Amino acid sequence: MKIGFIGAGKVGFSIGKMLADHGKDVIGYYSRNPISAEKAAEFTKTMQYLELEKLVKDSDILFLTVPDDAIETVWQQIKQYPLANKMICHCSGSLSSTIFSDIEKTKAYGYSIHPLLAVSDRYKSYQEIPKALFTIEGSKEKIQEAKKLFKDCGIKVEIIDQKVKTRYHAAAVMSSNLIVGLIDAAQEELKKCGFSDEGAKMALAPLIKGNVENVLKKGTKESLTGPIERNDVGTIKKHLETLDGINKIVYEILSSRTLELAEVKNQNCNYSQMEKILNLCN
């Protein structure tokens, strides 16, 4: 199965390199920016395509590794070419395969294939991809072939329903990008205490790493510690009196969510006073 890439950004580089390194027949890249396609082809030891139609013709599987807003535009371009029996894939976390409108008329098969990973570097992220779970949804006719493509590379794959794609992506954002925002808020509060940028980062590092490792090892409920889990109402009151602005709002909302977890963990503990002071965010 010959695999072509339309788009030569971080995701295109990384997935193409990973597939090529595992012996898959990656044939090359096309991009609106010829220099990007040239660099991707050089990195993956494949070809640069200067004509979109030629890449479409040569490929059995096409990955549209372009920005989300461009996927539909690219699809409208390529659907004019013969696509019968080809697999058309995008790698958006938020969009489903329904973005490939009227694909059944082309006799091709559409899929969204998403690595649950922050792909941040064109030249290094391919090394991390095998650690990630990939989710796939789309046409049932060849979905097992799409799954096998990645399982052959040692990657864990989960087939999901297109109806849950947006909720799935929201969960990914919560566990990735929103954590970055939360850590930034914590660093900001430490800087108000006199820490330098670097000092705040280094101070929080063991706490962040330790919590993540515990959650991954023991689960969220068993990893929960701190004043909410201990039902330390006085401490939470002082925090709410001290914090302000958006950081206070973040603290209130996440405290309410944490309280729900604490109540599950410690069912014999009376958290009624804690519930009252956190009603501010309800």
- Per-residue DSSP letter, 230: T
- Residue 93, Cα to own-chain centre: how many angstroms? 6
Q: How far apart are CA 250 and CA 136, in angstroms?
A: 33
b or e along 77-96 (b: 16 or more beta carbons within 10 Å of the residue's beta carbon)? Answer: ebbeeebeebbbbbbbbebb
- The topology (CATH level 3) of 2-164 is Rossmann fold (3.40.50)
- 8 A C-beta contact, residue 88 and residue 111: yes
Q: How far apart are CA 213 and CA 3, in angstroms?
A: 37
Work out the number of other CB atoms within 10 angstroms of the CB of residue 27: 20
* Per-position pLDDT tens, the chain of length 282: 999 999 999 999 999 999 999 999 999 999 999 999 999 999 999 999 999 999 999 999 999 999 999 999 999 999 999 999 999 999 999 999 999 999 999 999 999 999 999 888 999 999 999 999 999 999 999 999 999 999 999 999 999 999 999 999 999 999 999 999 999 999 999 999 999 999 999 999 999 999 999 999 999 999 999 999 999 999 999 999 999 999 999 999 999 999 999 999 999 999 999 999 887 444
Domain extent listing, the chain: 2-164, 175-281
- Residue 216, Cα to own-chain centre: how many angstroms? 17
- Per-residue DSSP letter, 11: H
Query: What are the start-end ranges of the H helices in 130-244?
Result: 143-151, 165-175, 177-192, 197-218, 220-223, 233-242
Q: What is the pLDDT of residue 255?
A: 95
Q: What is the pTM of this model?
A: 0.85
Q: What is the pLDDT of residue 118?
A: 86
For residue 176, report the phi and psi dihedrals to the nearest 5 degrees: -125, -80
Outline where DSSP puts E strands in the chain: 2-6, 25-30, 47-48, 61-64, 87-90, 109-115, 133-138, 156-159
Q: What is the pLDDT of residue 281?
A: 45
**Spatial CA neighbour of 98 closest among 27, 166, 11:** 166
